Structure 1
Amino acid sequence: MSRLTRLEARSTVFLVCDIQTRFRELVHEFDAMVSTASKMLTFAKILSVPVIVTEHNPRALGSTVPELDLAPLDKLHVGTFPKTLFSMAVPPVLEELNRRETKAVVLFGIEAHICIAQTALDLLAAGYAVHVLADGVSSSNPQESPLALARLRHAGAVITTSETVTFELMADSSRPQFKEFTAAVKAAQPTTRTALNALVPRSSL
């Protein structure tokens, strides 16, 4: 499986990592990270990109936060899978990626230096192109995220932003979804700026 640097909607899956209720008071700029995740679900529907969600030890850490409404995705929501492994690369997730002939994943959630990092490294080793949203990941300690992202970039992941990914997947303004797409971009502009300011240090630009 080749590592693509250019995303295409037909071969991409969004991975939502462990955005659960018990982390709300523990993770740096949790609300900003959730706003990016929510935006990505909106664009998943517009662009017809499948979404896989994991929950780490949900008995102890709760379910996915209610702000992330998966119902509108219908069949694009491939599944929500519990796990105890820090990495999302658990058998049911890998089976779904393989079944869909996935070439690239877009990864966001928590924590950047633990579950996000281990997922990215495992999927890179498996041959997938891994795109990590700098404005869509966080950790309990804010200093962890930039270090984790630097490590992942060195390992071969693409460190990017939510808006970069959505426009790359849209690709062509002549597509019939473009009017809905631009309306969603405009609606998300305030929270996009907030998330970038909160989660992407200027020193990393």
Structure 2
Amino acid sequence: MKKKEDEEVESAGLAGLVLDLQPRLLDSVAERNALAGSVGTFARSMVVLGVPLCLTEQVPDKLGPTEEGILTACGEAPCFPKDSFSAFGCGEFEEWISANGVEHLLLAGIETPICVYLTAVDAVRRGMAVTVLVDCVGCRRPEDGEWALRKMEKLGCHLLPLESLLYAILKSARHKEFRSISALVKDRPA
């Protein structure tokens, strides 16, 4: 299901993915701490909103596990090891997508021009809507990330900052989780 430009963000069929936030990769990323803080806020928000969430780890036997703070923020979210650059190269991830009826994938993690990009391409090819959270992705060379984001947008992916996405899901201050999400946003590192 491709997302039209003017279509609202609906929580049905929505899921979040945190890609490869392992310290050995994260430590080489520009603005590492800001990225980790933003992804932590994304993960906690998905847990509060009840949006399915999972993580991937790139060859964890060589690169180690996901950063502890991110794992904690993700709650009980499953974590899938992979050796492919696209998350869709991992059979367990594909099973999780199917089991959760995912139609719209929210992407956070690293690296923007590699694993984030290739996962977005594969999701679009499968007819899914994709939103790349621009303040929740990063890479070693920011200019490479910018080119990858441009290409993802041309493919039909939506590019949004986290706060825009969260308030689009809430739709109103009457949402039962408005206060919780507002508190997470206010506590978010600048």
| TM-score (norm: length of structure 1) | 0.86
Matches within 5 A, 1:19-98: 19-70=21-72, 73-74=75-76, 77=77, 79-89=78-88, 90-98=90-98
* Cα drift, residue 99 of structure 1: 1.4
Q: Which structure 2 segments of 5+ residues have no match?
A: none
In 1, distance between residues paired with 2:2 and 2:87? Answer: 20
In 1, distance between residues paired with 2:73 and 2:111? Answer: 24
The share of aligned pairs that are identical, in percent, is 27
- Determine the structure 2 residue equivalent to 1:125: 125
* Cα drift, residue 174 of structure 1: 1.3
* Cα drift, residue 184 of structure 1: 1.9
- Determine the structure 2 residue equivalent to 1:180: 180
* Cα drift, residue 25 of structure 1: 2.6
In 2, distance between residues paired with 1:185 and 1:9? Answer: 19
In 1, distance between residues paired with 2:157 and 2:136? Answer: 15
In 1, distance between residues paired with 2:126 and 2:47? Answer: 27
Q: For the Cα contact (< 8 Å) 1:133–1:161, is it kept in 2?
A: yes
In 2, distance between residues paired with 1:115 and 1:172? Answer: 34
In 2, distance between residues paired with 1:96 and 1:31? Answer: 29
1:71–1:149 Cα change, 3 Å: closer
- Determine the structure 1 residue equivalent to 2:149: 149
User: Could you say what secondary structure the match of 1:67 adopts?
Assistant: helix
User: Could you say what secondary structure the match of 2:81 adopts?
Assistant: strand
Letter in 1 for 2:131: H
User: Could you say what secondary structure the match of 1:181 adopts?
Assistant: helix
CA offset digits 1:135-186 (Å, max 9, x no partner):
1111111211111100100011001110011111112221222222222222
Moved more, 92-101 or 102-111: 92-101
Q: For the Cα contact (< 8 Å) 1:3–1:127, is it kept in 2?
A: no
In 1, distance between residues paired with 2:173 and 2:110? Answer: 33
Moved more, 21-30 or 49-58: 21-30
1:153–1:71 Cα change, 3 Å: closer
- Determine the structure 1 residue equivalent to 2:163: 163
User: Could you say what secondary structure the match of 2:174 adopts?
Assistant: coil
* Cα drift, residue 107 of structure 1: 0.1
1:15–1:158 Cα change, 3 Å: same
- Determine the structure 2 residue equivalent to 1:197: none
Letter in 2 for 1:141: R
